[in-house]
Amino acid sequence: MRVFKFGGASVKDAQGIRNLAGIVSGEKDDLVVVISAFGKTTNALEIVLRTWMNNEDSYKDHLENIYDYHDSIVEELFRSDNPVKIRINNSFSDLKNHLTTAAKSDYDFEYDQIVSYGEIWSTLIVSEYLNITGNNNIWTDIRKVLITDERYRDANVIWDITSDNVRRVFNPESSQLFVTQGFIGGTLSGHYTTLSREGSDYTAALLANILDAESVIFWKDVPGLLNADPRWLPDARRLEQMSYREAVEMTFSGAKVIHPKTIKPLQNKNIPLYVKSFIAPLEEGTVVVAEPEVKRIIPVFIKKENQMLISFLPKDFSFVMGDNLAGLFSLFFRYGIKVNLVEASAVSIDVCIDDERLKIDALMNNLHQEYTAIYNDNVEILTIRHYNAEAVEHITYGREILLEQRTRSTVRYVVRKL
């Protein structure tokens, strides 16, 4: 059994879906295909959600645009009597119905009920296209299989129930080819959940773990894992091999190419991850394994954008490192704030966190009696793994450095955004 994952960048138009079918047709093993929403559909659904929550009527136009986008792909791929059109129409009607009748409750909860539709539409279309091109498959609604807790927008998988479900549903005796959604799940009570943005990678890794897959392939719009995001540093080079350790450090530091939670389930079962070009499927790509054979290490550059640097100073001048640290971190967790960098001294602690104002305001309300907080917004974290002087110069030249951290292998800079 192998697991393939296709992201929105690969399936963004009819040609992308034809290409996907070509790649899947060439596969001889049992296969689970995990797909995320087409193109930028998740972003577009976020806009529907926001306008709907604000009682703005424009949500209908935003949804109509998403419908037109899917409909044009359907028109291009299928004959007019293909039942997929009805399935897509029905699913859009379900969502419209929800938007006209549902009481608006918690934002994160509503997010998952609405935004999760993107993956349903993409997989319905891809599954049917595979069927008509001779790749018979079973379409599976992962919301009934991958069971999570109720931490909406960042749900945690309930492992024992999910593993039983996954083994039962993705049984090679039922089919050699399954098509399912990444990123989404469901609660025991039947609500939809999501695993956080870019979470399809994580879904693919979870399924691979549970099914003891031989390997996982992420088909991407890049030739593999590169030593930087090519949109940032166009001279980025492909890395032939990488260790799980390196990959987890890279993704945690902010490399947007793979969701950070992806590596653990693969490492735990020693399952190799290939990252390959969707455009040039025969090219080698990158393989992520426990012990890479290629030892040549070049600097890897990672940028984490949209950060806020906050210094907390206990007002009573007590040491930060004792109880204060535990207390602060339990509050970060409670408000869903992810800490990306920490630097502590005797009576202050600096943290870099994602700039999410609502969460930060809630945290501050809780803390302002005991702590003074000093903010720097509009900052980003630049990380270099396996740095050297030239690499440092390459990315820090002309930048205002607010904080620097160095270990033997890694250097990090918190810099003001240009």
Residues contacting 159, CB < 8 A, separation 6+: none
Taking CB under 6 A as the rule, does residue 198 contact ligand ASP? yes
Residue 134: closest CA among 34, 21, 33, 29:
21
CA distance 34 to 142: 10
The listed partner (Mg ion, ligand ADP, ligand ASP, none) that binds 183, CB under 5 to 8 Å by sort, is ligand ASP
Q: Which of 199, 254, 260, 292 binds ligand ASP (CB under 6 A)?
A: 199
Residue 27: closest CA among 13, 6, 51:
6
To ligand ADP, the closest distance from the beta carbon of 383 in angstroms equals: 11
The helix or strand, by DSSP H or E, that contains position 60, with its residue range, turns out to be helix 59-77
Contact 150, 193 (CB under 8 A): yes
Cβ closest to ligand ADP, residue 228 vs residue 248? 228
Contact 122, 11 (CB under 8 A): yes
Taking CB under 6 A as the rule, does residue 154 contact ligand ASP? no
Taking CB under 6 A as the rule, does residue 299 contact ligand ADP? no
Taking CB under 6 A as the rule, does residue 183 contact ligand ASP? yes
Taking CB under 6 A as the rule, does residue 182 contact ligand ASP? yes
As a whole number of Å, the end-to-end CA separation of the chain is: 46
Cβ closest to ligand ASP, residue 40 vs residue 394? 40
Q: Which of residues 190-249 bind Mg ion (CB under 5 A)?
A: 198
Q: Which of 40, 98, 138, 230 binds ligand ADP (CB under 6 A)?
A: 230
Taking CB under 6 A as the rule, does residue 197 contact ligand ASP? yes
Q: Which of 3, 257, 273, 310 binds ligand ADP (CB under 6 A)?
A: 257
Question: Among positive and negative, which fits the CA dihedral 290, 296, 299, 305?
Answer: negative
Phi-psi region of 196 (alpha: psi -120 to 50; beta: other; left: phi over 0): left
Taking CB under 5 A as the rule, does residue 110 contact Mg ion? no
Contact 1, 213 (CB under 8 A): yes
Cβ closest to ligand ASP, residue 47 vs residue 362? 47
Residue type, 316: D
Residue 273: closest CA among 201, 183, 178:
201
Contact 39, 7 (CB under 8 A): no
The listed partner (Mg ion, ligand ADP, ligand ASP, none) that binds 37, CB under 5 to 8 Å by sort, is ligand ASP
To ligand ADP, the closest distance from the beta carbon of 25 in angstroms equals: 20
Cβ closest to ligand ASP, residue 199 vs residue 223? 199
To ligand ADP, the closest distance from the beta carbon of 356 in angstroms equals: 20
Options 194-202, 288-296, 345-353, 362-370: segment touching ligand ASP (CB under 6 A): 194-202
Contact 335, 362 (CB under 8 A): yes
Contact 215, 271 (CB under 8 A): yes
Taking CB under 6 A as the rule, does residue 237 contact ligand ADP? no
Percentage helix, strand, coil, to 5, in the chain? Answer: 40, 25, 35
Q: Where along the sequence are the contacts to ligand ASP (CB under 6 A)?
A: 7-8, 36-37, 42, 118, 182-183, 197-200
Q: Where along the sequence are the contacts to ligand ADP (CB under 6 A)?
A: 7-10, 198, 220-222, 225-226, 228-231, 255-257
Q: Where along the sequence are the contacts to Mg ion (CB under 5 A)?
A: 7, 198
